[in-house]
Amino acid sequence: MEVSLSLCFAVISTVVALWFVKLTLSGGKAKKKHRLPPGPWTLPVIGSLHHMVSLLPHRAMMQLSRRHGPLMLLRLGEVPTVVVSSAKAAALVMRTNDLAFASRPHSVIADIFSCGYKNIAFAPYGDRWCEMRKVCVVELLSSNQVNRIEVIRAEEVGNLVRSMTDAALAGATINVSAKVVALSNDVVTRAVFGGKFAKQGEYLRELGEAFRLISGFCPADLFPSSPLVRWLSNGERDAKRSNDRIQRIISDVMEERKTKRASGVGGCSNEDEDLLDVLLKLQQEDSLNFPLTTEIIGAVLFDIFAGATETTGTILGWIMSELVRSPEIMAKAQQEVRDVLGENRATITNSSIAKLHYVQMVIKEAFRLHPPAVLIPRMAREDSTIMGYDIPKATNVFINVFAILRDPAYWTNPGEFKPERFENSNVTYNGTCFEFIPFGAGRRQCPGTQFSWSLTEMVLTNFLYHFDWMLPDGASLTSFDMSEKFGLAVSRRHDLKLRLTPHVWFKATPKK
Ligand code: HEM
Whole-number Å distance, alpha carbon 137 to ligand 1 midpoint, is: 12
Q: Is residue 509 part of a domain?
A: no
Find all residues with CB under 8 Å of 498, minimum gap 6, and list them: 173, 174, 176, 320, 324, 469, 470, 471, 472
Burial of 498: CB neighbours in 10 Å, binned 0-12, 13-18, 19+:
buried
For ligand 1, whether the C-beta of 84 sits within 6 Å is: no
CATH of the domain at 335: 1.10.630.10
CA 199 to chain centre: 25
Provide the pairing of β-strand 375-379 with 396-400.
Answer: antiparallel
Number of domains in the chain: 1
For ligand 1, whether the C-beta of 368 sits within 6 Å is: no
Q: Count H helices, E strands: the chain?
A: 18, 11
**What CA–CA distances, in Å, run from 112 to 89, 108, 230, 244, 418?**
32, 7, 14, 9, 41
For ligand 1, whether the C-beta of 297 sits within 6 Å is: no
What residues pair up with 82 in beta bridges, in sequence order?
73, 397
User: Three-class SS of residue 33?
Assistant: coil
For ligand 1, whether the C-beta of 490 sits within 6 Å is: no
> What was the pLDDT predicted at 27?
46
> What was the pLDDT predicted at 430?
93
Angle among Cα 247, 218, 385 to the nearest 5 degrees reads: 110
Q: Is residue 132 part of a domain?
A: yes
Distance between CA 459 and CA 180 in Å, rounded? 8
Residue pLDDT tens, the chain, 512 long = 444 434 444 434 443 444 444 444 444 445 568 899 999 999 999 999 999 999 999 999 999 999 999 999 999 999 999 999 999 999 999 999 999 999 999 999 999 999 999 999 999 999 999 999 999 888 877 777 888 889 999 999 999 999 999 999 998 999 999 999 999 999 999 999 988 888 888 999 999 999 999 987 889 999 999 999 999 888 899 999 999 999 999 999 988 888 887 777 655 566 678 889 989 999 989 889 998 999 999 999 999 988 888 899 999 999 999 999 999 999 999 999 999 999 988 899 888 888 999 999 999 999 999 999 999 999 999 999 999 999 999 999 999 999 999 999 999 999 999 999 999 999 999 999 999 999 999 999 999 998 899 999 999 999 999 999 999 887 888 889 999 999 989 999 999 999 999 998 776 555 55
Identify residue 190 by its one-letter amino acid code.
Answer: R
Distance between CA 75 and CA 40 in Å, rounded? 9
Atom of ligand 1 nearest to the CA of 188: 30
> What was the pLDDT predicted at 477?
86
Phi, psi of 326 (to 5 degrees): -125, 80
ipTM: 0.99
Long-range contacts of 416-424 (CB under 8 A, 24+ apart): 417/322, 417/325, 417/326, 417/329, 417/365, 417/366, 417/369, 418/365, 419/329, 419/333, 419/358, 419/361, 419/362, 419/364, 419/365, 420/361, 421/365, 422/360, 422/361, 422/364, 422/365, 423/361
Whole-number Å distance, alpha carbon 348 to ligand 1 midpoint, is: 26
For ligand 1, whether the C-beta of 319 sits within 6 Å is: no
User: Three-class SS of residue 474?
Assistant: coil
CA 57 to chain centre: 15
Distance between CA 72 and CA 434 in Å, rounded? 18
Q: Is residue 511 part of a domain?
A: no
Q: Is residue 217 part of a domain?
A: yes
Burial of 450: CB neighbours in 10 Å, binned 0-12, 13-18, 19+:
middle
Structural domain including 374 reads 5-502
Provide the pairing of β-strand 396-400 with 79-84.
Answer: parallel
Find the largest Cα–Cα distance for the chain. 123
Give, rounded to a whole angstrom, the gap between the first and last alpha carbons of the chain: 122
Q: Is residue 62 part of a domain?
A: yes
> What was the pLDDT predicted at 16?
40
Q: Is residue 510 part of a domain?
A: no
Burial of 148: CB neighbours in 10 Å, binned 0-12, 13-18, 19+:
buried
Distance between CA 388 and CA 378 in Å, rounded? 19
Atom of ligand 1 nearest to the CA of 455: 27
Q: Is residue 66 part of a domain?
A: yes
Best of 214, 439, 450, 451 for a ligand 1 pocket test (most atoms within 8 Å of beta carbon):
439
For ligand 1, whether the C-beta of 112 sits within 6 Å is: no
Q: Is residue 508 part of a domain?
A: no
For ligand 1, whether the C-beta of 437 sits within 6 Å is: no
Q: Sign of the C-alpha dihedral, residues 171, 175, 180, 181?
A: negative
**Residue 130 annotated as binding site:** no
Best of 446, 449, 490 for a ligand 1 pocket test (most atoms within 8 Å of beta carbon):
446
